[in-house]
């Protein structure tokens, strides 16, 4: 992982999230309080501003720095969750990312713990957990397969009943809408994979 | 409402708003509120919805060792819990008692 590649990765993810802010807002208006897009955009704009400096750090430190930025700037329910994801990933990952699968598994556990949540409740975990499983299975073409896993996992949240987070207050009315956190997770996974491919 | 019950005998701080200043929550403003409410007896935090709870937990984790053990997030409804907690605190009760009093109202 060179600084140049890391820089490209950070910018790619930040730009994608920012570009989809309106979509995330709409999804969150349907089942939440409508702030997911605005919050994520603010957080990733801050990440974007610091991208150059962050990319000069070793990968673990860069991820921790991004996580901290997200905690401090995203706010809402997602700030602590995405912040924890990146911070925990940074804590476990080797500088050369050789233990990516184990580190990501650890990060997903940290999100479960932070959010007091499990897959099946219609949250970002319903994308992160399948992605982590696919990563764990390994194999070729991960950067092609993972976005597909993530996207179908996000789609799979549409018919789910929300039993965690703000959407759970809607009960049955949460059915028929994609979970915004699932969408943003899938976006980020796709973004990382695309940047690594290109 | 809390001030009506206990006057100035209890240090109180409130916060709301996301890092952009809109409706919501954020770790930085919670940390500032902890500072404003700080006394040697510690701080009991009462929150409204889920985002506030998670951000409060993270804010507490970021405190230094000296303070971290003396800040608790209460599992209580915010209005009733705050009033109960403040009343308990104004009587000089320790932090754990304040928390328990606030949480009496919540399903266990």
Q: Which tens digit of pLDDT belongs to each residue from A36-46?
A: 999 999 999 99
Tell me if B51 and A115 make a contact (CB, 8 A cut-off). Answer: no
Amino acid B75: pLDDT: 86
Tell me if A75 and B19 make a contact (CB, 8 A cut-off). Answer: yes
Amino acid A10: pLDDT: 98
Q: Where are the alpha helices (DSSP H) in B38-94?
A: 50-61, 65-68, 78-90
Cα A128–A133–A137 angle (5° rounding)?
145
Which chain A residues are closer than 8 Å to B50 by Cβ? 77, 165-166
- How many cross-chain Cβ pairs, A to B, lie less than 8 Å apart? 60
Which chain A residues are closer than 8 Å to B54 by Cβ? 77, 80-81, 114-115
pLDDT in tens, A2-11: 999 999 999 9
A80/B contact by beta carbon, under 8 A: yes
Select from A110, A13, A16, A105 the least CA-distant residue to A54. A13
Given a contact cutoff of 8 angstroms between Cβ atoms, the answer to whether A43 and A70 are in contact is yes
Span of A7-11, A100-104, A105-109, B29-33 with lowest mean pLDDT: B29-33
Torsion, Cα B34 B64 A109 B30, to 10 degrees, reads: 20
Q: What is the mean pLDDT of residues A167-177?
A: 87
Tell me if A35 and B23 make a contact (CB, 8 A cut-off). Answer: yes
Amino acid B95: pLDDT: 94
Write down the domain spans for chain B: 6-103
> For B24, which of A35, A80, A83 is closest by C-beta distance?
A35
Q: What domains can you pick out in chain A, each with its CATH number?
A: 3-197 (1.25.40.340)
Given a contact cutoff of 8 angstroms between Cβ atoms, the answer to whether B6 and B85 are in contact is no
Residue B19 above 80 pLDDT? no
Amino acid A96: pLDDT: 94
**How many other C-beta atoms are found inside a 10 Å radius of the C-beta of residue A78?**
28
Please, what CATH class does the domain formed by B6-103 belong to?
Answer: alpha beta
Select from A85, A87, A94 the least CA-distant residue to A59. A94
Q: What is the mean pLDDT of residues B85-95?
A: 92
SS (H, E, C) B6-31: HCCCCCCCCCCCCCCCCCCCCHHHHH
Which chain B residues are closer than 8 Å to A42 by Cβ? 18-20
Residue-wise DSSP of chain A: --HHHHHHHHHHHHHHHHHTHHHHHHHHHHHS-S-HHHHHHHHHHHHHHTHHHHHTS-HHHHHHHHHHHHHHHH-TTHHHHHHHHHHHHHHH--TT-TTHHHHHHHHHHHHHHHHT--TTSSSTHHHHHHHHHHHHH--S-HHHHHHHHHHHHHHHTTTPPP-SSGGGGGGGGGTTS--HHHHHHHHHHHHHHHHHH-
> What is the ipTM for the molecules in this complex?
0.83
Which chain A residues are closer than 8 Å to B26 by Cβ? 72, 75, 79
Select from A106, A113, A181 the least CA-distant residue to A150. A181
């Amino acid at each position: 992982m060179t600084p140049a590649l890391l820089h490209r990765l950070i910018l790619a993810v930040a730009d994608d999230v920012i570009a989809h802010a309106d979509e995330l807002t709409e999804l969150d208006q349907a089942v939440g309080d409508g702030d997911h897009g605005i919050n994520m955009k603010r957080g990733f704009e801050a990440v974007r501003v610091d991208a150059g400096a962050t990319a000069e750090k070793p990968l673990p430190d860069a991820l921790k720095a991004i996580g901290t930025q997200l905690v401090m700037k995203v706010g809402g329910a997602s700030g602590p969750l995405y912040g924890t994801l990146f911070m925990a990933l940074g804590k476990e990952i080797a500088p050369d990312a050789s233990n990516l699968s184990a580190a990501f598994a650890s990060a997903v556990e940290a999100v479960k713990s932070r959010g007091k949540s499990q897959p099946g409740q219609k949250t970002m975990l319903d994308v992160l957990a399948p992605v982590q499983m696919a990563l764990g299975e390994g194999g070729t073409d991960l950067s092609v397969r993972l976005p597909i896993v993530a996207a179908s996992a996000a789609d799979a949240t549409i018919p789910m009943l929300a039993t965690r987070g703000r959407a759970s207050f809607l009960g049955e009315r949460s059915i028929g809408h994609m979970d915004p956190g699932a969408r943003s997770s899938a976006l980020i996974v796709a973004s990382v994979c695309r940047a690594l491919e290109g | 409402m809390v001030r009506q019950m206990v006057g100035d005998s209890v240090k109180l701080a409130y916060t709301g708003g996301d890092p952009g200043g809109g409706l919501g929550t954020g770790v930085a403003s919670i940390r500032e509120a902890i500072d404003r409410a700080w006394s040697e007896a510690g701080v009991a935090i009462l929150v409204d919805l889920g985002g506030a709870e998670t951000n409060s937990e993270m804010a507490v984790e970021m405190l230094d060792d000296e303070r971290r053990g003396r800040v608790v997030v209460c599992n209580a409804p915010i209005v009733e819990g705050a009033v109960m907690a403040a009343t308990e605190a104004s009587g000089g009760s320790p932090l754990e008692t304040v928390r328990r009093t606030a949480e009496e109202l919540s399903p266990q």
